[in-house]
Structure 1
Amino acid sequence: MTSVLHGRQLARLLGRWDAGRGIPDYVALATAVRGLLNDGRLALGLRLPAERELATALGISRTTVTAGYRLLRESGHVTSRRGAGSWTTMPGGARVGAAGIWSPSTTPDMIDLGRAALDAPPELTVAAAEALTDLPRYLGDAGYHPVGLIELRTAVADGYTRRGLPTSPEQIMITSGVQNALDLAVRLLVPVGQPVLVESPTYPNALVGFAARRSRMLTYGLDDAGWDGELLLDNLRQNRPRVAYLIPEFQNPTGHLMPQPLRERLPAAAHSAGTDLIIDESFVDLALDVEEMPLPVASFDRHARVLTIGGMSKTYWGGLRIGWVRAAAPVVQRLAAVRVGVDMSGPVLDQLVAARLLAHASSVVEARRVRLRRQRDVLMAALRERLPEWRFRVPAGGVTLWLELDAPISSPLCRAVERYGIRLAPGPRFGMDGTMERFLRMPFTLPERDLLEAVDRMVEARGDLDAPYPRGYDTPALVA
């Protein structure tokens, strides 16, 4: 069944859609709707409000809405059928991109800063060759291993033990990436419609996962310093969410690192509130300026309230779809029972490659840190020189800068930079209800030359926003 967007809902998402554009209202309306598609705040296949209803909600003439919808049909962002209404669609020649949003099928000159991910390390080729020698051992059975291969579970468990959290293979379940780990945890822990607590800002795909369960999302806002411990713990006690999803290690997108005193108090507070903690450690290996990492949150769990999820996407390679859950052994078995109804088990060969690659962890991680530290510093220097009005704090790890812009222009800026061959993720993608227009996430995972070129093009795009509207509509390269 097609979801229906009502006029008042679209009006709220559009916000000040006609402010200061200097162009006809119908063009501004169409451009603003495309912007919502670009940053993922409007889904494909969503039925738009009727022209009269939207005109009433926006306080404009129906003629303006009719003309705006006509432009959207011409650009391929809306399809209409008499008697059935209008719904959001995809322009021709687009596909589902790796970032979970729609992108053009051919963009050879695009500098893609929408994805906070690295290319594969050279050790991956070696690990893949080594894994082929391991494969014959598994060819004699059906190949289904719902909790994962024992050698990979052992390697992951050993990694936790080295970090000061004793872990056995029975406490590890291998999944098809971190997103799969989160999905399984949510399926197990969160009944439909129950409240969940998320940080603001947070990882966009986590919001999508909770929304799929029709969860009632509560937010805890991070500040410049990260988490206010007392406020976070009070939030748990007062709201008693079923689950709290937190990213303590180099939080995505802000880069904050949760201090150990708060980690020590979190599990007990969660237990008192009847809350389970889903702790996302996707970036835990990517410490750049930290002398000693704090202990994992699960180190202080006395009541089996903490499910830790992690994986190989950020440190190693996103194309190797390997994630995991660390939890109490009985919880792992319950997760396996849930998984059987979703995807049975992960690919055997991928898990063998992952186990071999983890044997090269020290060399891979150190090389990643050196590279990211260098690219981060180059990007920060360029931003300070070319865009001094923008503010950011230096992240001690992870792969992103969380930029505070000089005005609430994140979404229009991301639309503007596409004309210059840059793809960015605007601030509203990391929050709820269209907030965070003053913020922008910028990863430093690309080579220095691409980062410098990106900043130069962003300077030009920023200037376009202050100038009279310079041109007609250009078809966006990115639609959701």
Structure 2
Amino acid sequence: MDRIDAKTLAGLLGGWAADGPLYRALAAALRSAIEADSLPPGARLPSERDLAAALVVSRSTVVAAYDELRAGGLVDSRRGSGTVVAALPALRRPGADGRVPGGTATSIIQSLVDERADLITLNSAGAPASEWLADAVAAVAREDLPALTADAGYQPRGLPALRSALADCYTSDGLPTVPEQIVVTTGATQAISLVAQVFLRRGSTVVVETPSWPGCLDAFRAAGADPIGVPLDDEGARIDAFAAAMSRSPSLAFLMPTFHNPTGMLMSPARRRRIASLAAEHGVPIMEDNSYDTLFGGRPAPIAAEPDVEAITVGSLAKTVWPGLRLGWLRAPVEVAERVARHKALVDLGSPLLDQAVALRLLPRLPAITEEHTTALHARHDQLAGLLADRLPSWRWRPPDGGTSLWVELPGVDAAAFAQLARRHGVEIVPGAAMDPDGTHDSYIRLPFTYPPPILDELVDRLATAWKALRPNNSRHSTRD
């Protein structure tokens, strides 16, 4: 078997460091991966030097960890082959090592499972719940329960009143929509996964922006598809690259035109028109994820508003109201919505009606909720940007048009390696390699600014300490490169 790349192994181990000697923590993490068959028999482990560089530890730490595995019969050393995983008589099932199995979003999801209180985790960009949420929940409990509980509760397409309200929102925003075009989902992620199941098959291709959100890449790969990356410029997905991707006859194109995650970019109206025209010309459906902007109106029209293009528009209340309100939706041509609803019926028979009733109460207030949310985000963005400029002046980023994060370039540094060190200083970050598997953004990290001001202060303090440990000659007052 080929040697496992050091960066790949580092990603597989995730947050392996713990209290006590590092070599013992590393040996324990490798042992768990071997026993759970995440590292199969015959796999060649990276050299001590390469793994040390990927984990930002000394070579002696890796040597000692490999020695422990060798003493336990878990690995063999073979001349010319290096360190190889030994065959074990009985292996546990995947997941028995406490790690979330597979995928580019593994470390992101892992942090949700681990629940380490000492970590500031940047794997999600959710904010605390809107103050409007409590009123909506109370109104549902006070006024809506009798009608809701009279229903059996199985609504794969979604609560009819909510679908009608969402259709009205799109129509008033200049995109004529009927309730039959709406499917309510358990968050935007489920909507994306369901559309992937409808359009993608093993061996098909899907166009994605680079960088993109790891969970989306996982959903497409789970459906058997291979992503085709399209880089961004200041207006959105680059036309030349998008046109080249269209010529390869993809089954689907996935875009985040409104406050792209992670860059925060807003695709221009002209770029939306050109993208839609190319997709229509080649007969490729577009799925646009607008879940980072739940304010109807005041933005460029969705790509779905362009003529002739087959487009599915995804929305959500998670970023504006509360991530714990797992409520999303999609708007699609009627026949596509029907196919999605059939897939959703197999998954969960319909999203919870209580959540949908709360969402229905919130929709009329959404402009006011979004305005309050945006004001708070502006203040936190300014705070984080100011702290970074003071404590980490060599870091670079393009001011986002919106969204919830900064997309930051670390000068001359592999962000995956910095992520290993940052975690040992109490910060869990998403490196660019997780968001762009092609390697173009390996020096980038995503920094959400959704956290309360005290957390942002502590966050930058920890990052600055980790950065100094990585680059001890860095000066606090050095100039930008």
Deviation at 1:160, TM superposition (A): 1.6
Aligned letter for 2:39? L
Aligned letter for 2:259? F
Partner residue of 1:477? none
The secondary structure found in structure 2 opposite 1:198 is strand
Which of 304, 308, 314 in structure 2 is aligned with 1:302?
308
Partner residue of 2:453? 448
Residue 156 (str. 1) matches residue 147 (str. 2): no
Partner residue of 2:359? 354
Aligned letter for 1:294? P
* Cα distance change, pair 105–8 in 1 and its aligned pair in 2 (3 A): closer
Partner residue of 1:280? 289
The secondary structure found in structure 2 opposite 1:214 is coil
Deviation at 1:91, TM superposition (A): 6.5
In 1, Cα distance between equivalents of 2:89 and 2:39: 13
Stretch moving more, 99-108 or 156-165: 99-108
Greater relative CO (CA pairs within 8 A, separation 6+) = 1
Residue 170 (str. 1) matches residue 180 (str. 2): yes
Aligned letter for 2:38? R
Stretch moving more, 78-87 or 430-439: 78-87
Residue 439 (str. 1) matches residue 430 (str. 2): no
* Cα distance change, pair 448–34 in 1 and its aligned pair in 2 (3 A): farther
Aligned letter for 1:232? F
Partner residue of 2:140? 131
In 1, Cα distance between equivalents of 2:173 and 2:299: 9
Deviation at 1:101, TM superposition (A): 1.8
User: 1:193·1:215 contact (CA, 8 Å) conserved in 2?
Assistant: yes
The secondary structure found in structure 1 opposite 2:396 is coil
Stretch moving more, 246-255 or 458-467: 458-467
Stretch moving more, 82-91 or 453-462: 82-91
Which of 309, 315, 320 in structure 2 is aligned with 1:315?
320
Partner residue of 1:258? 267
In 2, Cα distance between equivalents of 1:438 and 1:352: 43
User: 2:396·2:408 contact (CA, 8 Å) conserved in 1?
Assistant: yes
In 2, Cα distance between equivalents of 1:365 and 1:164: 20
* Cα distance change, pair 349–124 in 1 and its aligned pair in 2 (3 A): same
User: 2:41·2:87 contact (CA, 8 Å) conserved in 1?
Assistant: no
User: 1:286·1:369 contact (CA, 8 Å) conserved in 2?
Assistant: no
In 2, Cα distance between equivalents of 1:421 and 1:9: 27
Matches within 5 A, 1:162-241: 162-223=172-233, 226-236=236-246, 238-241=247-250
Residue 144 (str. 1) matches residue 154 (str. 2): yes
Matches within 5 A, 1:362-377: 362-377=367-382
The secondary structure found in structure 1 opposite 2:237 is coil
What RMSD over aligned residues (CA atoms) do the two structures have, in Å? 3.9
Aligned letter for 1:126? D
* Cα distance change, pair 384–282 in 1 and its aligned pair in 2 (3 A): same
In 2, Cα distance between equivalents of 1:31 and 1:413: 17
* Cα distance change, pair 434–164 in 1 and its aligned pair in 2 (3 A): same
Residue 330 (str. 1) matches residue 335 (str. 2): yes
Aligned letter for 1:394? P
In 1, Cα distance between equivalents of 2:205 and 2:331: 23
Which of 45, 48, 51 in structure 1 is aligned with 2:39?
48
User: 1:55·1:65 contact (CA, 8 Å) conserved in 2?
Assistant: no
The secondary structure found in structure 1 opposite 2:445 is strand
Normalised by the size of structure 1, how large is the TM-score?
Answer: 0.81
Give a deviation string over 1:243-292, Cα, whole Å, max 9, x none. 011100110001111111121122231122231111100112379xxx95
In 2, Cα distance between equivalents of 1:286 and 1:378: 24
In 1, Cα distance between equivalents of 2:9 and 2:361: 49
The secondary structure found in structure 1 opposite 2:129 is coil
Normalised by the size of structure 2, how large is the TM-score?
Answer: 0.80
In 2, Cα distance between equivalents of 1:175 and 1:34: 36
User: 2:264·2:401 contact (CA, 8 Å) conserved in 1?
Assistant: yes
In 2, Cα distance between equivalents of 1:32 and 1:441: 29
Partner residue of 2:54? none
Q: Which runs of 5+ in 1 are unaligned?
A: 1-5, 16-26, 469-480
User: 1:241·1:274 contact (CA, 8 Å) conserved in 2?
Assistant: no
* Cα distance change, pair 64–351 in 1 and its aligned pair in 2 (3 A): closer
Deviation at 1:54, TM superposition (A): 3.6
Partner residue of 1:18? none
Aligned letter for 1:348? L
In 2, Cα distance between equivalents of 1:437 and 1:43: 27
In 2, Cα distance between equivalents of 1:118 and 1:43: 37
Deviation at 1:52, TM superposition (A): 7.2
Give a deviation string over 1:118-148, Cα, whole Å, max 9, x none. 1111111110111122121132332211111
User: 1:14·1:33 contact (CA, 8 Å) conserved in 2?
Assistant: no
Aligned letter for 2:299? M
Partner residue of 1:462? 467
User: 1:8·1:57 contact (CA, 8 Å) conserved in 2?
Assistant: no
Deviation at 1:436, TM superposition (A): 2.5
Matches within 5 A, 1:113-124: 113-124=122-133
* Cα distance change, pair 196–178 in 1 and its aligned pair in 2 (3 A): same
In 2, Cα distance between equivalents of 1:345 and 1:239: 36
Give a deviation string over 1:327-371, Cα, whole Å, max 9, x none. 112221121122222211111111101111112212211110000
* Cα distance change, pair 92–192 in 1 and its aligned pair in 2 (3 A): closer
Deviation at 1:166, TM superposition (A): 1.9
User: 2:421·2:466 contact (CA, 8 Å) conserved in 1?
Assistant: yes
The secondary structure found in structure 2 opposite 1:437 is coil
Aligned letter for 1:148? G
In 2, Cα distance between equivalents of 1:86 and 1:349: 39
Stretch moving more, 384-393 or 367-376: 384-393
The secondary structure found in structure 2 opposite 1:324 is strand
* Cα distance change, pair 50–67 in 1 and its aligned pair in 2 (3 A): farther
The secondary structure found in structure 2 opposite 1:263 is helix
Identity of aligned residues (%): 34
Aligned letter for 1:13? T
